[in-house]
Structure formats: C-alpha cells, structure tokens
Structure 1
C-alpha cells in the first residue's frame, strides 16, 4: 500500500483545497493517470498517480489539505485498506465534524492568499475550529473541520444535490458578497472557483464601481466611493512591497534597431501559423544568453552565495485587462520560436479567465515585461523577489537618423534592465544588454 500525499505546490499557501476527484473510490489507475485536482490561491493543479494500482480516497471534496497530508491510498489489489490511523484525515466516506445528517459539506473555507488578508466563512480570528459549524468570517483563521457559513443553504451548489462543486475560497466570497446561488448554478461549470465568483459579482454589480472608458482606454475607478482592489492586484501589491523593501536595484537601458526583426517576425507568423512578435523573439533571445550570463538568472541565497540555475525559465508579463500575470516559459533555451509562440498564445487565452495551472506561474528565474503603448518610451521593470534581473521592452517606434548624410527612418525599441546590485554590476548589465541587442539586430543569424 502506498500513501498519495499532498505535494508542496507553492510558497504562498499553507493549505490547498481539494476541488475534484478524477477517479472513483476503488478505481484502478495506471502510473501517470490524473487522479485529483487541488486549488491553490493562484491556480489549479492536477496530481497524477506515480504507480499502477487501485485508488482509495482519504480526503473528501472541498477539504483543506496541507502539504504532506494523505490524499488517498494506492493498493496493489482491490482490497480496501484498513481505516486510517489516528491523526490522519478521515476517509471520503466519513462525515466531517460539523456536517449535518446526510450532508456532504467539506471543511469550512479559509482564504489562503496571503495578499487577500481575509479568512473564509467559518474561520475565527487567529484560531482553529475543530468541529463546529461556522457562521461568518474573520481574518486570519484556519478551519480544521467546520462547515462554513452558507453550507447548509448552499448544499445543492456544493454538489450534495447534483449542483456544481464550489471550492472553499469561492464559497467564502459568495457569502461575503451575498451572491445568489441561482446565479452561481447558472454559470454552467462543474467546479466553481473564486475567479468565477469574482467575474459573476463584477457582471451583476449595481451602480458601476468604475467609470466607463472609451475604447482603448483603461477603466477608471469611480470617484467619491470606496474601491476594492481585485485579488490579482493585491497580489501584485505584495510583490511590489517585498521587491522594493529587499532588493537594491540599479537600472540600465539600450536602444535596439528592430526593423529587420519585425520583418522576420511577420514571415515567421505566416510560416508557423502562430503570432510571432517581440514577446516571442525577445523571450527566445534572452534565454540564449543564459550560458554566458548565469548570474543574471541567479537566485541570491545569502550575503555570500547565489544559486546558479541549470536552465533559463523566462517569465513574461501578460495583462489582458483582468489582472497582471507572469506565466513562465520553462527551459526556454531548448524551445523553438514556434513552441514559445504556441505557449504564449495559450497563456494569453488563460489570462482572460485566470485559468492558469500552478506550474504555469512558478519557477521563473528572470522576467520580461512588455509595454504595448506606443507613447511609452522608457520603463523600469520590477525585479521579482528571488530574481536577479528583469527586462522591460517598449513598443516599436519610428526614429529619424543620419546615414551617410541622408535622413533615414528606422524602427527602434528601448530595452531597460533592472538588476540586483548584490549580484550584477553595471558592467555586466551593459554587456548583457549589448549581447541581447546584437541578437535582436541580427535576426536571420539568431533565429533563421
């Protein structure tokens, strides 16, 4: 018998939510088969079986589970394993403390996003509820086995009466915003996540919280009333605070002639049938510099040492109007331009819904921020905690220059580099940018 345990998915959350079982209790699986879906504060993650066998569930739907907790047990035959020993989570067939007779409400909800600062329904400030039914929420608590507020009224939506499964963070927000459960069911999804509730609340909000904007302009918060920052923006704020408080940053910028590069990008778009532009080509070029400039991809360990990664994992900023995300092109130096273009196209679609997997948003060791507004001529990027460098690329702009006594036009972009001065000095930053400029200004040799 093998225990299937909750892995460590990210550093932001102490617990995750079990949002979906992909196999029945006692079902036979093969190694590599997906068996369960966990939700973190940022994304969802499918876990796969590492061995062949029969899966016996231990945790119920909607359970809060910490890294190391037993999710299920895997046996070599169809014999159900013995009951779990004391101290382990109850089996899927065991009612959770606080459940009503015949109900299927999982543990109470608790908001795990450190940037959110609010705890879910049923949690108590700073405390842990063991087996009582919670009704109302307060900041900072964790719930061990209580049924959150709204669980009784929302039984159908929680899945006990055939409705969609509502994750703990989503249920907490439903209670907080007093969202009608009929509207939640009308979403037509099998698993309702917090992002779904946020979009639903935004659509059904009464008087506009933001002033209308002309096409192409950013929406503006309405004046004279409180404006609640979206969850994604609160996450950005946390990163900004940590970055500015802990990283002594310096900044250098170069100008690159990208006319031939953009011509190549247009041809490659037709050839690979994927959108190829500055984001794809700059990402590829940055990754190619990893071998020559490993410190620009390093992570500071302490005042005397740094960890040099064995591969470049490039984070690329994407903001589709629903919040800023930084998905990662993993091992980017080994990927072709077509592969990078395909991945970024998938990420842009995911940014519209916030439907990222945990792995999509973790593991970067350098970031590229993109500015598409033609009036932006210079930008200082934010260095993410744990990174040594971040790059900012402006939109292409026409520039007049003298060439042999004649006035000619060329297309240029400014590429700025912010760097942690504890790891990278000004000379190294200049050499890195010069090498990047050379790759982009010789596109046929670099990408052809």
Structure 2
C-alpha cells in the first residue's frame, strides 16, 4: 500500500496517526492512517483486504509513492515500530518526534542540532538551542510554506499580464443587502463575483483552461470550478466552489459561509482545496485599492476584487459621488491576450449588474 498523492503543493506529508495496529485485519476501503499535509489532515484507506503491517513510524515524513503499509495474509507480527523517534537516513543523533516538531516551530536546523553533542535529541534540547542562538528567526507555518512554493512556481512558469477596470458598484452593494434577506445567507461582493465569473465559462473558455504539455493547445474544462481566497490570520487558503455555474446564489452563499468558518479553524479537506480552474482573490478590506494576484499553478487567470472607494464624478453637469472598485485580472499571456482580458472584465461588470437586478 503506497502513500497517495493528496495535493499538488506538498512533496511530503507527515504520518500523524495510525488508526489500526500492525497485525490487524482490514478490509479494502477501511481508514487505516491519517496523513497531514500543509493545509489539511486526510484519512488514508486500505487498498486491499488482509492483515496490515505498518511500514512508517508516527510523525515521520513520507512522500507520494512511498511504502506506507503492507497488506496480505496473516504473518508473524514483527517488533513494533518505535514511534517515539523519527527514522534518520543519515548518521547523527536520533531526533525524537517532539524534538522534530519543535525544530519546525522554532526554525532550528539539523546542522544546529548536531552541535549539541548528544546521542538522542529531545524537545528540551531544541528549545534550549533556540534560546541560545544569536540570530532571531520566525518560523513559517506549513500553510505559508505551501503558499511560497505556489508563488515561486507561478512566477517561474507563468508569463503573467494584468488588466484593471474601474467598476462602479453602487447597484451591487445595494443589492447585497436585499439579496442577503432573500436567501437568508450573507451575500456580499465575493458571492456576486463568484457567480459572475462562473456564468462566463461558456463565453470565455480559455479563462478556465490550462496550457497543454506540448504548449500548442489549451486543455478546456467542463465546468467552472472557482477558487476563492480566504485569510483570517491562520494562513492563506483557496477553497473551491465546484461547478459554480450550476449553483444558485443561495448555494454559493452557503458554501462560502462554510469556507469562512473553516478558514478560521484551518479545517479544510483536500477535496475543498482541489481542482480550481480560475480564482477570485478578495482584497476588499477598507482602503485597499489595487491588488495584483499571482496566477495559481494549473489555472489561467485570477480576478482581484478590491475595496470600493467613494469617487466624485460628473453626472449631467452635476457632481455626484459613487462607489468604485478597481477590479483586476492577472492572466497567462500564453493563453489570453489583452483584448480578451478587457472583454472578460466588461462581461464581469455586465453579469454583476444582472445579478444585482435579480428580484
């Protein structure tokens, strides 16, 4: 039984729990272990029926394709794996699992640990070493490390361009209050823009496509899977409203409400975060007027929604005020050109107006 691939962001996962002991008979589909990714914890199920033997220690790193367990006929039970330490593939001190966790938290490297001169490194040793170091460090969470990998890959592989449209939003903002009462769910700009983007899937298929491996064709998508950014201080997440074009405003509002709660707890499943083919990035905290998102690997563009600002304008010779936001589009120039980006932004404006007019 091999370690499955759970997402595109992580090269390794951490085995945080065995749900069955070595020597236990399991059936295909039974949950047997829990793997922790940078953004979620996922149960792994048995891929066969038989007697299971653990092959990875608790809190050890494992990569997709590694041997996780063997499942077969009843065999003599070997000595249990010592889960108190993480196996090391090189010479040096043995680092216990709590010590390894402290190293991640405090930014202590294995090279620093090796200078301790002890055979077994415990958490207290790591904490003492961190306190003695003269260079202050701030550890990055696993979520932020995953964001860093995605940003690096995006900038290294996607030639991005950017377009922005000044969009008056008075009608939309007024409509959100009415629509919230109608659907009995919070409706704001996020919900309207997710709906508007999803409605354009058929009209603008390249905006939901990926570039083929040979770089000569676009691979089109069947549905609009709209990723939406959430960052409540626990890390940046991009959960996905799958097949958003088939959903009602109430369904989209319900899904985004669930995601807001999950973002506060950092409690997303791998399925929640998978398969986006376009992104809506939210930057509508007060005063944010311009945001240029990176294009998430595997997608062609990202729509940035900023905070509406009160702007004066002439209306029939009279000076009036209105709420205007800079709605931006970062796009992969290998698939999309500037003219199409401008048309897409105008179509977004058309669809948000139509949604605002919905009774």
TM-score bin, normalised by smaller chain: 0.7 to 0.9
**Structure with larger RCO (C-alpha < 8 A, sep 6+):** 2
2:15 to 18, 34, 39: 18
Specify every segment of 5 or more residues in structure 1 that has no aligned partner in the other structure, as ranges: 75-79, 85-90, 109-121, 123-127, 136-147, 155-167, 179-196, 207-223
* 1:432 Cα offset (Å): 0.9
CA distance in 1, matches of 2:175, 2:50: 53
Where 1:268 maps in the other structure, the secondary structure is helix
Partner of 2:40: 43
CA distance in 1, matches of 2:341, 2:171: 25
Asked whether 1:251 is paired with 2:248, we answer: no
Partner of 1:6: 3
Asked whether 1:82 is paired with 2:74, we answer: yes
Partner of 2:195: 284
Contact kept? 1:260, 1:443, Cα under 8 Å: no
- Identify if the C-alpha distance between structure 1 residues 304 and 323 changes in structure 2 by more than 3 Å, giving closer, same or farther: same
* 1:433 Cα offset (Å): 0.9
Asked whether 1:173 is paired with 2:152, we answer: no
1:400 to 289, 292, 312: 312
Where 1:367 maps in the other structure, the secondary structure is strand
Specify every segment of 5 or more residues in structure 2 that has no aligned partner in the other structure, as ranges: 110-122
Where 1:274 maps in the other structure, the secondary structure is coil
Contact kept? 1:370, 1:393, Cα under 8 Å: yes
- Identify if the C-alpha distance between structure 1 residues 254 and 171 changes in structure 2 by more than 3 Å, giving closer, same or farther: same
The two structures have a TM-score, normalised by structure 2, of 0.78
CA distance in 1, matches of 2:342, 2:184: 35
* 1:266 Cα offset (Å): 1.7
Partner of 1:272: 183
* 1:424 Cα offset (Å): 0.2
Q: Which aligned pairs between 1:265-344 and structure 2 lie closer than 5 A? A: 265-301=176-212, 302-344=214-256
RMSD: 3.5
1:149 to 82, 86, 95: 95
Where is the helix percentage greater, Structure 1 or Structure 2? 2
* 1:61 Cα offset (Å): 5.3
* 1:49 Cα offset (Å): 5.8
Where 2:35 maps in the other structure, the secondary structure is strand
- The worse-fitting range, judged by mean Cα deviation, of 227-236 and 251-260 is 227-236
Where 2:180 maps in the other structure, the secondary structure is helix
CA distance in 1, matches of 2:85, 2:251: 41
The two structures have a TM-score, normalised by structure 1, of 0.64
Asked whether 1:359 is paired with 2:271, we answer: yes
Q: Which aligned pairs between 1:57-72 and structure 2 lie closer than 5 A? A: 57-59=53-55, 62=58, 63-69=60-66, 71=68
Contact kept? 1:254, 1:415, Cα under 8 Å: yes
- Identify if the C-alpha distance between structure 1 residues 281 and 49 changes in structure 2 by more than 3 Å, giving closer, same or farther: farther
Number of aligned positions between the proteins: 335
Contact kept? 1:379, 1:416, Cα under 8 Å: yes
Q: Deviations over 1:181-228 (max 9, x none)?
A: xxxxxxxxxxxxxxxx9xxx9xxx99xxxxxxxxxxxxxxxxx97453
